[in-house]
Amino acid sequence: MTLSHENELVVVSGASSGMGAATAHELAKRGYHVLAGVRRQEDADTIRGANLEPVILDITIPENIEALVERITNDPERRRLRALVNNAGIAVNAPVEALPLDQWRRQFDVNLFGHVALMQAMLPFLHESRGRIVNISSVGGKVAMGTYGAYSGAKFALEAVSDALRRELAPHNVQVVVIEPGGVKTEMTGHGIDRAQIFVEEMTPIQRKRYGALMQAIINQATAFTKTGVPASDAALVIANATTTRNPRTRYTIGRDAAVLTRLSRILPDRVLDRLIAANLRPYWKITDTE
C-alpha cells in the first residue's frame, strides 16, 4: 500500500535550479506538498506545478523567512512541516590573501548564517511533527582545496553546526542529516566559475602573479567536473531518499569523487593528502601552460 503524504509539507531552499529544483520535483512526485524557495518571480513561475508551490525565499532576508513562517502557520489544509532541505548556496573561490572581506561575509551569510536562521525559524514546526532537517554541505566541507577557503570554511562550519544540532535534537526525535555532494552538474558551479574568472581579473598584479595560474587551473578543473559530474536528477534521488526514509544515516555522499575524498580525509596524514590533491590538479596546470 502506498502511503499518502498529502498532509505533509517540505521546504526546499535554493529551488530555482540544479539540485534544489530537481529535489523539489522529486519530493512533489512522491506526494509531499513542497514549498520551493526561489529568489525571483520568474523562477517561481517556472517551477510551479502539482504539489509544487513556489515561495519567495532569500535566506539572508529576515522578512522572507518571516513570510514563510506565516505561510506554514496559516496553511489552509493544516498540513504539518515534515522536513526542511537547506539547499541554497553560492560558490566564491579565490585565494585567502586575495578574496575581499565583503565576499567572505557574503559567502558565510548565504552558506551558513542563512541556513541557521531558517533552521531556527522552522524548528518549532519540526518539533511538533518530529520532522527532519537535511543540510546540503559538500565534499568541500571535508576537504579544503586551494582557493576554496571561503566556500569550504562555510561548509566546514555547516558540518559542525549540523553535528551539534543532531546531538541537541536527538532527545526530541528531530533528525538532522548532512548531504556531501562532489561534482554535480548545476548552475551554481557555472556561476562559481564565472565569479572566479572575475576575481582573477580584479587581483592586483602581484596577486595575479602569485595565484593567477592556480586560479586558472582550478577553473579548468571545475569546468571538467561540471561536464562529467553527477546529473542533478540523480543527486535529487539521494537527497529525497535521505529526506523521506524512515531511518536515515547521519551523512550521505553524492558522486564517487565525494565518497573517495571524504574517506581519504579521515585516514591520510595532511601532507599525503596535500600531495594527492596537488597531483589531481596537475593535469589542469598543464592545460593552463599550453593555452
Give the residue from 154, 212, 218 showing the smallest Cα distance to 192: 218
> Residue type at 63?
E
CA dist 83 and 42 (Å) reads: 25
C-alpha torsion sign, points 276, 262, 230, 194: negative
Helix (H) or strand (E) holding 204: none
Asked if 139 and 262 touch (Cβ cutoff 8 Å), the reply is: yes
* CA 250 centroid distance within chain: 16
> Which segments of 84-231 does DSSP mark as H helices, in order?
101-108, 114-129, 149-169, 187-202, 205-228
Asked if 184 and 253 touch (Cβ cutoff 8 Å), the reply is: no
Question: What is the grid cell recorded at 88?
Answer: 541554497
User: What is the bridge-based pairing of β-strands 184-185 and 175-181?
Assistant: unpaired
How many other CB atoms are there within 10 angstroms of residue 194's CB atom? 11
Q: Kindly name the residue from 32, 151, 252, 284 that is annotated as catalytic.
A: 151
151 is catalytic: yes
Tell me phi and psi for residue 224, to 5 degrees. -65, -40
Asked if 59 and 84 touch (Cβ cutoff 8 Å), the reply is: no
Give the CA distances from residue 170 to residues 86, 176, 193, in Å, rounded to whole numbers and listed in that order. 19, 9, 39
CA dist 1 and 121 (Å) reads: 34
Active-site residues, by number, are 151
